[in-house]
Structure 1
Amino acid sequence: MLDFIKITKFATEAMDIADRRTQEIIGKVENAALILEKTGLDVRGYTRVIDNYGVRHTMKQHGNEVLEIKRGQIAVTLDDFSKIALITSEPDDIFADGKNKIGRDVIVFVKVIDGIGYRHVEEVRGKHKLVATDSLRKKKGAWSA
């Protein structure tokens, strides 16, 4: 697994790269059997990655403190990306959430850490056997499905 410091460093650097995709491997999908059971999506043998598009989308859509308060949420910080490995390896719940705007299957992981509920969304990139960060949100307490 990619360590917390490297993920935070990648997320920080990703904010400055808009003209091409860059990605960092977080690690192998280790709980593929659980994901299959909960979602019907088979990600055995897949690798979990984070890329600059997922980081930039998250920060643009969920990183503004004023807007997130209006939504009843908490603004995501670059440090929050370091929690992805924990959220995805030991989730409180996992569910499929249809397809994203570009037609890829979406998996949602939810987990409460120290009273903060995290909702991490990944897209399945079947051609390359990857699951990639699509979005991350947080709020006080648990997320409902």
Structure 2
Amino acid sequence: MNLSHTVKAFHELSVTELYDLLRLRSEVFVVEQNCVFLDLDNKDQKCYHLLLYQENELVAYTRIVPAGLSYQEVAIGRVVSSPAHRGKGLGRKVMVLSIEYCYQLFGPCNIRLGAQTYALGFYESLGFRAEGDTYDEDGIEHIEMVRKAKV
């Protein structure tokens, strides 16, 4: 599997990259998960965007969120993999890269995310631990998880 990736601030994204990431987010979060929500939340402009490609096709994506924008900690959000490419370890690959880039961009830091509860085990395998109670977000049960900084 020939994978490549890029991480860019919002203003560095090409029009094609922006279209591709918004299309993938919409395909999964709106259509597949049947959630009517405003994906464009005015946070993208302040975030970094990790795009994972197989050949020239966007197959996975995350949004790396600076501390203070969504949570007190740096966060990883909008974690998504293409339905056509699932079962190939791309979710793990994009998350490992995202964790590495959190540290490269922001130094040693705690990383928080809002996980869909069905994926709890996946995120635990990457060093995240559940924190707090479950909550409903757009009709899907979530829980916040934190990966403590390694000092």
Normalising to structure 2: TM-score of the pair? Answer: 0.27
Greater relative CO (CA pairs within 8 A, separation 6+): 1
Normalising by the residue count of structure 1, what TM-score does the alignment of the two structures yield? Answer: 0.28
